[in-house]
Amino acid sequence: MDGTDPAGALRRIHEVVAGARAGAADRDQLLTALSGLRLLREELASWEPELITAARAAGTSWVALAPALGVASRQAAERRYLRLQPSHTGETTGEARVDAERDRRAGDRAVADWARRNSAILRRIAGQVSALDGLGPAAQESADRIGAALGDDDPATLLPPLAAARPHLTGPHAGLAQELGEISARTDQLRRDAAGNRRSRD
């Protein structure tokens, strides 16, 4: 198939199909058409998630996308999209990608809820780290990111820069590093628990 001309490829395949129906297609034509059809199918399949992504970016809801995708609900539309997406975390099947994405979202919600309940603790530690003196360039960059995150209303935004700062807190700052380690362990456990709870409900 000519990758730059799907319409032309489809037209040639259709001509072979018409010939096959009339008993006028030879072996080489049929094999070429089958090969072209496979390539065309792969190219068309790659367009669907791209178009869905663009539609979502343009403000289209999953409810509006569902009939265009030939499914009955917003959940089914989102599920189809996740199945079509390439995996960045090692899942080998569409169903596994759906489960991984749902686990991630459940974990994000659990961690965000925990961060809001423990906002005072997170802001105290973040304030201490951002105010440290005599840090090296990398540590100071982490501290500056924490300081910027302190201005956000959502305390969950503090978690990534706090985790990134932990390796830089050595020597006299080991106590802060230990507190950050405990926070990371807690949020990791929350994610695991949230994923387990979600799967037990399915």
Q: Give the pLDDT score at 91.
A: 47
Q: Give the pLDDT score at 87.
A: 53
Average pLDDT over residues 151-180: 90
Model confidence band, residue 112 (pLDDT cutoffs 50, 70, 90) = very high
**φ, ψ dihedrals at 59, nearest 5°:** 100, 10
Ramachandran region, residue 104 (left: φ > 0; alpha: ψ -120 to 50; beta: rest): alpha
Q: How far is Cα 112 from Cα 191, in angstroms, rounded to an integer? A: 10
Selection from 165, 159, 177 nearest residue 111 by Cα? 159
Decide if pLDDT at 142 tops 50: yes
Q: Give the pLDDT score at 88.
A: 53
Q: What is the pLDDT of residues 28-40, one digit of tens each?
A: 999 999 998 988 8
Cα-Cα end-to-end distance for the chain: 43
Decide if pLDDT at 200 tops 80: no
Q: Give the pLDDT score at 6.
A: 83
Q: Give the pLDDT score at 202.
A: 58
Degrees to nearest 5, angle at CA 184 with 111 and 114: 25
Write out the two tokens for 163: 């985790």
Lowest mean pLDDT: which of 8-22, 46-60, 83-97, 114-128? 83-97
Q: Give the pLDDT score at 92.
A: 45
Q: Is the dihedral of CA 64, 69, 74, 79 positive or negative?
A: negative
